[in-house]
A and B are shown apart, each in its own frame.
Chain A
Amino acid sequence: MSIQNVEQLKDIHIDVLREIGNIGSGNAASALADLLQCETNIAVPTVRLLDFNDAVKFLGGPENITIGMLVNITGEIHGMMLYIIQRAFASKMTMQLFGTDIADMMNLNDMERSLISEVGNIMAASYINALASLTGMTIDISVPTLTSDMVGAILSVPTIEFAKVGNKVLFIDDSFIIGDSEIKSNMILVPEMQSLETLFEKLGVGV
């Protein structure tokens, strides 16, 4: 049977994605520690299928201003990844590295953009590397594009892409401890259905 929509995924598939998330997050934590030059730990991520409204609620409501970073996935699987960075996380990073807070989320300066893009790149690459090494597939990611706006509007991009195949998005919920503060970040994964099938086959949990 082939996957027609994402709601057909079973617990075992979610578990597999969680394990990939776990490895990815571990990689990300050590890369972040290097970049931010402070101790960084990460809890086991939760991976869930959420519908749009719940995802938006979880991210602080539709009009909450966040940073969104979009990465295209190409190679043996196709899809997109959206990384959502809340103000608290962005502030923590700039405070840690530059000693200044973010003045205006809607108008990031060049230094802030470059730092946040780098962190997004690290996060996306960590997950994708985990995925590639577990499956033996060649997977490439594009340079991330960044925007800051209402989270509902940002989330409409993957949701629309996902709408062709389901009502829900794959939501990875990360919790980092950077220095002494706990920071949340969220990754939304939008695979093409064909790619998801390929992925699960490679991992031995074909649908």
Chain B
Amino acid sequence: MANLVTVGIADLNVVKAPDTLVTYALGSCVGICLYDNEKKIAGLAHIMLPLSKDAAQGIDNKRRYADTGIMELIQTMNLQGASASRLTAKIAGGAQMFSVSSSMFNIGERNVEAVKKVLASYRIRIVAEETGLNFGRTVFFHGDTGIMEVRAAMKETKMV
């Protein structure tokens, strides 16, 4: 029987086919879906901020940042038998929820940029992207097909 595994904010998880991962209501956060098509292993990380070096003292959650979160996701997938060289990526989120132009508010865009840089450093290709704009997204990532299903309020569901 297929399970639905939830990934919270600043968290990550890995499943094998036929299970599905879900992360709810991405705003400025970014959901990173990695897939090993040969082994049918799917991983999803929900990051909040670009780089771990920006962390304040005493705050230690690696899953919060694009760089350390993606690193841990790849390691976790490797442990379950995935190969980093076979991984492809699909990303979603990074919206600007409020229309105010200030550096504080374009965090969504900065998150997406950081995610792309980190993925490029691992030579992981981004094959689908549903990012930016100004609305929240819920992401389902299907372990059997590697399809990312993106739902938004009052909008058509996208399967990419």
Instruction: Identify the A interface with B (CB < 8 A).
Output: 4-5, 52-53, 56, 61-63, 65, 68, 70, 72, 80, 104, 106-107, 142, 145, 147, 149-157, 159-161, 163-167, 193
Q: Which 10 A-B pairs have the closest CB atoms?
A: A153-B136, A152-B25, A153-B27, A156-B27, A62-B24, A62-B25, A150-B136, A150-B25, A106-B154, A153-B25
Whether the Cβ atoms of A53 and B97 lie closer than 8 Å is no
Q: Is the contact region of chain B dominated by helix, strand, or loop, or is it mixed?
A: loop
Of residues 11 through 43 on chain B, the ones whose CB sits less than 8 Å from some CB of chain A are 24-29
For B136, give its contact among A5, A142, A152, A166 (CB under 8 Å): A152
- Do B57 and A106 have beta carbons less than 8 Å apart? no
A sample of 8 cross-chain residue pairs with beta-carbon separation below 8 angstroms, ordered by A number, consists of A5-B59, A72-B100, A72-B102, A152-B26, A156-B26, A156-B27, A157-B27, A161-B104
Known A-B contacts A62-B24, A63-B24, A153-B135; the reply to A159 vs B48 at CB < 8 A is yes
Which residues of B come within 8 Å of A, CB atoms?
8-10, 24-29, 48-49, 54-59, 61, 64, 95, 97-100, 102, 104-105, 107, 134-138, 153-154
The 8 Å CB contact of A5, one of B8, B24, B58, B99, is B58
User: Is the CB–CB distance between B95 and A4 below 8 Å?
Assistant: no
Nearest to B96 among chain A residues (CB) is A157
| Bound: A65/B155 CA distance, A | 13
Residues of A within 8 A of B10 (CB): 163
